[in-house]
Structure 1
C-alpha cells in the first residue's frame, strides 16, 4: 500500500508541475487561457495534447480534483506574478538605487488604478525598467497617491533612502511644487528628484500649439473626420480605392488615410502628409460619395467636401506639417535607449532654434504662395479675408480694430502665433529650473569629465 501511495503521489506531483508549465507557456505567449466552456479553452486543449506524450497526465485530468478550474488557474498565475516581482525586487535590492514611475487611469468600471514601474541599473550598467503591478486607490489626491507609493516600497522592502528619481505626468496632483505627490515624496527623501516624461512633454507642446491656432486646429480636425469616414464607410473606402486605380496611384492605399491619434499628437505626420500628397484624390472621392444618396456617410462626405474645398484647410495642413515633422524627430531622439541628459537637452535646444528660424515673414510667404498655387490647381475656394463685422453705433466713436490689407497678412498673424506657441512651449516645458534635470546634468558631466564640481 505504501508503494502504491508513493507512486500515486509522484504521478500527482509530476502532473501538477505540467499544469504549471502549461499555464506558464500560455502566459509567456500572451494567449487566451479560457474558452466558452471548461473544455474549449487553450489551457485544457494544450493539456490534452501533452497527455498524448504523458499518459499519467491524461489519467490525472480525469480525476475529480485536478486543479484546472478557473480558481486554480488564477492561483497559479498569482504565484507566477509573486515570483516575478520577488526576483525583480531582489535584483533592485542587490544594486541599490532605483527610480519609480507612476501613471494612472480608470478602468471600465470607473475605478482609479495606478500602474507602477521600477527603474534601476544592473551590474552590467544596463538600464532595467520593470512593471511591478497595478494598484487601486480610493481618490486621486496627491496625499492618496503618495501614500500608495510609500506602501508599495514598504511591501517590497525597498528603502526610501535609495529612491533617487520619480517620474509622473504633469497633472497638478502629481507635479505640484508644494502639495503634489512629488513634493510629498521629496519631503521624506530630498534626493528623489522629480522628472516629467520628456516624450510626453513634446506631445503637450504640440497639443497646446494646435489649440492656440484656429486655422491649424480646424484643418487637423477635418483630416481626423476624413479618417473616421474612411474607417467606418466601406462604400467610401471602395470609391477611394477605385479612384486611386483610375489615376494609377499605386503608392496610395485607403489605409493611408486614418484618424489622428487623440493623445499622441506627434504620431499625426503620416496622416497629414498623406492628405497633402493626395488632396485631389480626396476631393474626387468625397464628391462621388456625397452624390450617392442621403445616407449618413454621404451627408458627412458632403460636409467634409465643403471644408476641403476651402483654401484655408490646405493652408492649415501645410503650416502644421513642418513643426509636427520636427517635433516627431525630436520625440524619436528623446525615446532612444542611448539618449543622455545633456544630449537630450542639446537636441531640444537645436529644435527650438529651428522653430524660431521659421518665425519670419519670408518663410510664411513661401508657404502662402505654395498654398495659393496648389489651391488653383485643385480649384479650391481662394484664400480671402473674413468678412469684416461692423461695430454697433454706440461703439462707433471707439478706435477701429486693425484690418489686414490682404489675405496673406491675415493668415500670417495666425501662422506666427502657432510658431510662437511651439517655440515658447519648448522653452518653458524643458526649463531646467522646473525639474531635476539640472542636477543630473552636473552628475553626467562629472562622470564624463572626471571633474567634481
Structure 2
C-alpha cells in the first residue's frame, strides 16, 4: 500500500498511542488510510470497518477476539492452547519511535474453541527486560494471568530454534514442560534439518573455516558479472577440450552451463548446490583466482585470491569438501521431502529415521570410501597428499608437536567428531517422543478413506495427554473404538 511506503520512506511510526474509534488521532497509518478513504469511494467500501475482521489492520481487533472465548464457561479441557513465539527483537526508532530500543517477543495463540474449531490469533508484542529463559517465562506467565488462562491448558509450544535464542528457548521449553508435561514442542522439520546439518558442522573449527573460505571465494569471483562470465568461458573451454579428446560424453541434458551459487543462510540445500558446483568447476576457479591475484585491479581482492589459492591447494580443503558433500548429499532427499506443501506426515518421519540410520552407517563403514574420494580429487587437481601414518602438523601452531598421526586427526577428530555431532543433534531435535506423537496423530488423517486409522495408535495418543484422558477414559475409549470399527464395517455406506 502507498501509505506503508510513505511511512517507511519518511521513517515515521505506524501506530498511535490510542487507536480506538473514539480517539482524535489514531496514528499515522490509520489516519492516512482514513484520508485515502475520503478521497476514493471505491476504496472506502473495502477497508477499515468495511473490511473482513481479520484484515482491518487495527491491533485491538486482532487481539480481542480471543478474550470472549476464554471467558466462556467452558470446561478447561475443551480449550486447548498452542503457544507460538518468535525470538525477541529490538525495534529501531525508524520503525516505531514510541517503543524504540525495546526487546519484544511476538506471541501467537492457536486454540480450539467450544465448537471444536481451530483458530489462531496474533496476541501482540510483549516487552521483555532481558532475553533469559526466566525473563521470557515471567513475561508469558503475566500474559496468561492477564488473559485469564492457565498453563495447564497448553498442548503445544513453538519457537524459532536458531541463532542467539536457541539456548534460551530450549530452557524456556523445559520450564514450561516442568509445569505441564503435555505442552509438547514440535519444531518445523525443514528448519530443524537446516540447524542440524549446517549449524552443527560449523561448531567444528576446521569446518567453520572451510565455509568462511567458501564465502570469501564467492565475494572474490562470484560477486561480479565479469567473474561469472569468466567462469562460464573457462568452463566451456574445458568442456570442448574434453569432448574433442573423448573424455566427456555428449547428449541431451549433459554439459549444462554452470556457475557458482551463493548459499542461503536459511536453506542448507543451497550449500550442497554451491559445493557441488565448486567441485565441478574447481580447475576453472583456480585459473580465475590466479588471474585475479596477478592482474586484478583491487589490491584487497588480490590478497584474498592469494589466500584462497593457498587454502584450496591443501589436503584440508579437499577433505572437508568431500566430507560436506557426503553429509549434505545424504540428507538432500530428506530436505526436498520436508519442503513439500502436500506432504503426508508419516513420510518425512520415515525419512528422518532412515537418514539417522544412514548417518550411523556412514560413521561405521564410510571412512574408506571418503578417503578414496579425497585422494582421487587431490590427484586430479595436483593437490599434495598427506601421509596418513605421518605426524599431524597443526597449521595454527606448526611448531608445537601434535603427538598424533594424520590418520588419527582426520578420522577421529574430524570424521567421527562431526558425524557424532550430527547424529546427536538429530536425536535431540527429532526425538522419539515427538515422532511417536506425530505418528499417532497421523492415524486420524481422513486421507484415502482413513487408510492410516489405527486403534492402537489412537489409544496411545490418549496416553500422551493424561490431563484430558483418565485411566477410566482410556479404558472406555478402547471399548468405544472397538464398537465404532464394527459399526462402520457393517454400514453399507462405508462398504468401499
> Which band: TM-score by shorter chain?
0.5 to 0.7
Given the alignment of the two structures, is residue 102 of structure 1 paired with residue 85 of structure 2, yes or no? yes
Instruction: Identify if the C-alpha distance between structure 1 residues 37 and 206 changes in structure 2 by more than 3 Å, giving closer, same or farther.
Output: closer
CA distance in 1, matches of 2:33, 2:115: 42
More off after superposition, 156-165 vs 98-107: 156-165
CA distance in 2, matches of 1:303, 1:411: 23
> Can you list the C-alpha shifts for 1:76-123, whole angstroms capped at 9, x where unaligned?
x99523324445777899984230111214326553221223334799
Partner of residue 11, structure 1: none
Partner of residue 9, structure 1: none
Residue 169 of structure 1: CA displacement? 5.1
CA distance in 1, matches of 2:34, 2:426: 53
CA distance in 1, matches of 2:319, 2:409: 12
Checking the alignment, whether the CA contact within 8 Å between 1:145 and 1:181 is kept in structure 2 is no
> Can you list the C-alpha shifts for 1:277-313, whole angstroms capped at 9, x where unaligned?
2112211111111111461011101111121122431
State the TM-score, normalizing by the size of structure 2: 0.61
> Can you list the C-alpha shifts for 1:135-166, whole angstroms capped at 9, x where unaligned?
32112233321232234445556665542111
Partner of residue 349, structure 1: 353
CA distance in 2, matches of 1:93, 1:437: 34
Instruction: Identify if the C-alpha distance between structure 1 residues 183 and 403 changes in structure 2 by more than 3 Å, giving closer, same or farther.
Output: closer
Instruction: Identify if the C-alpha distance between structure 1 residues 119 and 228 changes in structure 2 by more than 3 Å, giving closer, same or farther.
Output: farther
Partner of residue 276, structure 1: 279
CA distance in 1, matches of 2:115, 2:336: 25
More off after superposition, 352-361 vs 443-452: 443-452
Equivalent of residue 192 in structure 1, options 166, 183, 188: 183
Given the alignment of the two structures, is residue 225 of structure 1 paired with residue 216 of structure 2, yes or no? yes
Partner of residue 381, structure 2: 378
CA distance in 2, matches of 1:314, 1:257: 19
Partner of residue 367, structure 2: 364
Residue 219 of structure 1: CA displacement? 3.0
Partner of residue 21, structure 1: none
Checking the alignment, whether the CA contact within 8 Å between 2:177 and 2:184 is kept in structure 1 is no
Partner of residue 449, structure 1: 454
Partner of residue 12, structure 1: none
Checking the alignment, whether the CA contact within 8 Å between 2:112 and 2:118 is kept in structure 1 is yes
- Pairwise CA RMSD of aligned residues? 4.6
Given the alignment of the two structures, is residue 302 of structure 1 paired with residue 306 of structure 2, yes or no? yes
Instruction: Identify if the C-alpha distance between structure 1 residues 425 and 79 changes in structure 2 by more than 3 Å, giving closer, same or farther.
Output: closer
Instruction: Identify if the C-alpha distance between structure 1 residues 192 and 420 changes in structure 2 by more than 3 Å, giving closer, same or farther.
Output: closer
More off after superposition, 441-450 vs 100-109: 441-450
Instruction: Identify if the C-alpha distance between structure 1 residues 420 and 184 changes in structure 2 by more than 3 Å, giving closer, same or farther.
Output: closer
Residue 241 of structure 1: CA displacement? 4.7
CA distance in 1, matches of 2:411, 2:35: 69
Number of residues of Structure 1 aligned to a counterpart in Structure 2: 384
Residue 432 of structure 1: CA displacement? 3.0
Instruction: Identify if the C-alpha distance between structure 1 residues 142 and 356 changes in structure 2 by more than 3 Å, giving closer, same or farther.
Output: closer
Residue 212 of structure 1: CA displacement? 5.8
Given the alignment of the two structures, is residue 118 of structure 1 paired with residue 109 of structure 2, yes or no? yes
Checking the alignment, whether the CA contact within 8 Å between 2:391 and 2:405 is kept in structure 1 is no
Equivalent runs, 1:137-176 vs 2, <5 Å:
137-153=128-144, 160-168=151-159, 171-176=166-171
Q: Secondary structure at the match of 2:109?
A: strand
Partner of residue 292, structure 1: 295
Q: Secondary structure at the match of 1:104?
A: strand
Instruction: Identify if the C-alpha distance between structure 1 residues 383 and 50 changes in structure 2 by more than 3 Å, giving closer, same or farther.
Output: farther
CA distance in 1, matches of 2:417, 2:274: 23
Instruction: Identify if the C-alpha distance between structure 1 residues 157 and 281 changes in structure 2 by more than 3 Å, giving closer, same or farther.
Output: farther
CA distance in 1, matches of 2:218, 2:35: 45
Partner of residue 330, structure 1: 334
CA distance in 2, matches of 1:90, 1:353: 49
Checking the alignment, whether the CA contact within 8 Å between 2:289 and 2:309 is kept in structure 1 is yes
Specify every segment of 5 or more residues in structure 2 that has no aligned partner in the other structure, as ranges: 13-28, 45-54, 73-77, 93-100, 241-254, 395-400, 446-452, 461-496
Partner of residue 325, structure 2: 321
Checking the alignment, whether the CA contact within 8 Å between 1:311 and 1:375 is kept in structure 2 is yes
Q: Secondary structure at the match of 2:129?
A: coil
CA distance in 2, matches of 1:227, 1:351: 30
Checking the alignment, whether the CA contact within 8 Å between 2:349 and 2:435 is kept in structure 1 is no
> Can you list the C-alpha shifts for 1:1-23, whole angstroms capped at 9, x where unaligned?
xxxxxxxxxxxxxxxxxxxxxxx
More off after superposition, 350-359 vs 214-223: 214-223
